[in-house]
């Protein structure tokens, strides 16, 4: 059995009319997206699963109790009725697809149940501004990979000028176990971390606030069905274990990192907080934006057989535009819009999501529903496509100049970072990820 990518279907039709009018104007959440999240409805109540549609959130519990869902989609909605989506993620692709199909239908002007759905009004689709969003899943484990090839070369060069890419890089999807407890939702302020650093000219280390606070532009991969301890996940089945994607800012303290990273890798430079966007963008929503994994440069080794699948190579990568925006306190005071400091794309990964997941489980390590895998920083090949300030400023040597004439090498207190992701293709309605933002506080 070989992996078959989710095909496009009637839920992707660009001509669909949605009775939630804002869906037609919303850059991220048209009816063709339908991402999954957890929210508290207006006026409070128990957190529950929802689907973003325009500037509203479809309440799955209300859809279920209103008799709008049946069969596998009703199973999916029941699994999404609690404060985390872990039970829904565990169900895998079939119920998730059924839910997408039925929710798409009931939101369509011409949908079979749209009359009944519309009659439920704001109870079914409350205004998102009046809801609060929560993390979509309880994250048991978080692993961060290093699959951005340009990032790996750029950073390797800064840390080891004569030896940027270690020989294992082209064989092993390199990663490390991160910390799940400090993953927070978009909007959570980031307290500047303190730690040990050793200035290059000092005899010994000092302890204090990080002075080289950085971002990492990444995509998060939400694990769907897990695997039992001792059982690997064949690459041909890996896509069925992926429930969706989000934006991930893996904040990093470069000065702490430089002093602590050898011999065991990242530790306190990385685990003080990571920020995710609230919505799980499903593989179904991203079906039109799948692309072939870019061919490896001439002379690079072919992946070992357990990481090789023809279909994954043909359609296992994603054409997702990624942006980093920065807004300083002064810019906000002067009413200046956030400045785009980088534009990259998810295609700049050396390994596919399926390869990362399969490699992770290849030793029998048990992934669990709701685990989060980070891709690693996704930098492009050019100056204006860097996924970290470390790269954009050449290790802090070449500052960025903001519209206020302020200079930035690393983040200052009051800076806000906004990550954005969006996908577009001729013949399809563009979809987006929603914001992943966070401001630095002392």
Q: Which residues here bind Mn ion, judged by CB under 5 A?
A: 144, 216, 250
Q: Which is nearer to Mn ion, 144 or 284 (CB)?
A: 144
Asked if 233 and 361 count as a contact pair (C-beta separation under 8 A), the reply is yes
CB of 144 to Mn ion, least distance (A): 4
Q: Which is nearer to Mn ion, 244 or 266 (CB)?
A: 266
Q: Which is nearer to Mn ion, 18 or 373 (CB)?
A: 373
Between strands 142-145 and 372-374, the pairing is parallel
Q: Which residues pair with 125 in a beta bridge?
A: none
Q: Which is nearer to Mn ion, 91 or 223 (CB)?
A: 223
Spatial distance between the Cα atoms of 318 and 309, rounded to a whole number of angstroms: 16
Spatial distance between the Cα atoms of 217 and 213, rounded to a whole number of angstroms: 14
For residue 351, the 8-state DSSP code is S
CB of 214 to Mn ion, least distance (A): 10
CB of 221 to Mn ion, least distance (A): 13
CB of 284 to Mn ion, least distance (A): 27
Q: Cβ contacts of residue 382 below 8 Å, gap of 6+? A: none
Spatial distance between the Cα atoms of 82 and 90, rounded to a whole number of angstroms: 14
Q: Cβ contacts of residue 305 below 8 Å, gap of 6+? A: none
Q: Cβ contacts of residue 121 below 8 Å, gap of 6+? A: none
Q: Which residues pair with 400 in a beta bridge?
A: 408
What 3-state class would DSSP assign to 176? strand
Q: Which is nearer to Mn ion, 3 or 145 (CB)?
A: 145
The yes-or-no answer on residue 116 being catalytic is no
CB of 323 to Mn ion, least distance (A): 17
Asked if 184 and 274 count as a contact pair (C-beta separation under 8 A), the reply is yes
What 3-state class would DSSP assign to 227? coil
CA angle 164–165–170, rounded 5-degree value: 170
Q: Which is nearer to Mn ion, 216 or 371 (CB)?
A: 216
Spatial distance between the Cα atoms of 333 and 388, rounded to a whole number of angstroms: 25
Catalytic residue among 26, 151, 359, 360: 151
CB of 252 to Mn ion, least distance (A): 7
Asked if 142 and 371 count as a contact pair (C-beta separation under 8 A), the reply is yes
Radius of gyration of the chain (CA): 22
Spatial distance between the Cα atoms of 182 and 180, rounded to a whole number of angstroms: 6
CB of 378 to Mn ion, least distance (A): 10
Instruction: Identify the H or E element spanning 175.
Output: strand 175-177
CA angle 52–379–196, rounded 5-degree value: 100
Q: Which is nearer to Mn ion, 216 or 435 (CB)?
A: 216
Catalytic residue annotation: 151
């Amino acid at each position: 059995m070989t992996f078959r990518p989710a095909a496009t279907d009637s839920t992707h039709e660009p001509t669909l009319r949605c009775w939630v009018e804002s869906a037609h104007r919303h850059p991220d959440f048209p009816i063709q997206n339908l991402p999954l999240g957890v929210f508290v409805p207006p006026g409070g109540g128990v957190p529950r699963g929802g689907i973003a549609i325009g500037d509203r959130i479809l309440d799955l519990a209300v859809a279920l109790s209103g008799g709008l869902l049946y069969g596998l989609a009703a199973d999916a909605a029941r699994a999404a009725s609690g404060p985390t989506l872990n039970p829904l993620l565990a169900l895998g692709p079939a119920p998730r697809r059924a839910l997408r199909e039925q929710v798409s239908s009931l939101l369509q002007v011409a949908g079979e149940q749209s009359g009944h759905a519309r009659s439920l009004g704001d109870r079914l689709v409350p205004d998102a501004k009046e809801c609060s969003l929560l993390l979509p899943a309880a994250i048991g484990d978080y692993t961060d990979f290093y699959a951005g090839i340009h990032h790996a070369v750029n950073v390797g060069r800064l840390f080891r000028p004569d030896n940027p890419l270690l020989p294992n890089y082209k064989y092993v999807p390199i990663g490390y176990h991160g910390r799940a407890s400090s993953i927070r939702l978009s909007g959570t302020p980031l307290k500047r971390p303190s730690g040990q650093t050793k200035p290059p000219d000092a005899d010994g280390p000092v302890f204090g606030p990080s002075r080289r606070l950085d971002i990492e532009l990444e995509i998060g991969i939400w694990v769907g069905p897990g695997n039992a301890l001792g059982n690997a996940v064949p690459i041909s089945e890996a896509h069925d274990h992926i429930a969706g994607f989000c934006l991930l800012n893996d904040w990093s303290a470069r000065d702490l990192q430089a002093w602590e990273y050898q011999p065991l890798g990242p530790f306190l430079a990385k685990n003080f907080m990571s920020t995710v966007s609230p919505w799980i963008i499903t593989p179904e929503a991203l079906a039109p934006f799948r692309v072939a994994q870019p061919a490896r440069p001439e002379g690079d080794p072919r992946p070992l057989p357990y990481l090789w699948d023809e279909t994954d190579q043909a359609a296992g990568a994603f054409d997702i535009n990624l942006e980093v925006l920065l807004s300083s306190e002064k810019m906000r005071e002067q009413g200046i819009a956030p400045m785009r400091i980088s534009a990259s794309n998810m295609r700049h990964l050396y390994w596919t999501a399926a390869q990362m997941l399969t490699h992770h489980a290849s030793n029998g390590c048990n992934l669990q529903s709701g685990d989060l895998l980070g891709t690693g920083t996704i930098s492009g090949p050019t100056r204006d496509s860097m996924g970290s300030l470390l790269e954009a400023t050449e290790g802090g040597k070449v500052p960025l100049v903001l519209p206020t004439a302020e200079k930035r090498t690393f983040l200052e207190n009051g800076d806000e970072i906004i990550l954005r992701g969006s996908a577009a293709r001729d013949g399809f309605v563009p979809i987006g990820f929603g914001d992943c933002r966070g401001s630095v506080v002392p």
